[in-house]
């Protein structure tokens, strides 16, 4: 799913065996109590994923934030509400963990994703910057 779109197909590697970098990332995520990898399944088929990272911040009186990343649904499931369920689940987890903010980023080229997140109440309140290393 990570490679199943125009942007992901350029940066992800969908091959067997799976590159070791993905295995190492999964191991780090699965052992970190401030990271959750959410996997939605229908039977034995994975149909959606997202990662939630919980981070304490020195700002906002030392409050915690939840960052939602890597949200993907299988192409056969798009438009059926699974993405909404995933994001609402992420918001609920943030509340359960006492976070005061849920944040996410999406590539500016993902116009549909931007509209989707805005429809769920997210606001483009900050300008984000990245540096690829």
Tell me whether the omega of the peptide bond preceding residue 98 falls within 30 degrees of 0, making it cis: no
Phi, psi values for residue 115, rounded to 5°: -60, -40
Domain 34-119 fold is: Aminopeptidase (3.40.630)
Token readout for 76 is 């056969």
Around Cβ 54, how many Cβ atoms within 10 Å? 18
Strand order in the sheet with 45-56: 35-42, 45-56, 64-73, 101-104
| Each residue's pLDDT tens digit, 61-78 | 999 999 999 998 988 888
- Are the CB atoms for 101 and 65 separated by under 8 Å? yes
Q: Where are the domains of the chain?
A: 34-119
Report d(CA 45, CA 60) in Å as an integer.
40
| Each residue's pLDDT tens digit, 71-130 | 989 888 888 999 999 999 999 999 999 999 999 988 888 898 899 999 999 999 988 888
């Amino acid at each position: 799913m990570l490679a199943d779109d125009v942007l992901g197909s350029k940066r992800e590697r969908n091959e067997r065996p799976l590159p070791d970098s993905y295995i190492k990332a999964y191991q780090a995520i699965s052992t970190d109590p401030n990271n959750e990898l959410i996997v939605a399944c229908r039977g034995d088929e994975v149909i959606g994923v997202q990662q939630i990272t919980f981070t304490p911040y020195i700002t906002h009186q030392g409050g915690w934030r939840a960052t939602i990343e890597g949200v993907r649904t299988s192409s056969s499931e798009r438009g059926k509400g699974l993405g909404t369920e995933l994001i609402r689940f992420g918001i609920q987890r943030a509340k359960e963990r006492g976070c005061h903010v849920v944040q996410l980023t999406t590539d500016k080229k993902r116009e549909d994703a931007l509209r989707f997140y805005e429809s769920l109440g997210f606001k483009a309140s900050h300008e984000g910057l990245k540096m690829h290393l």
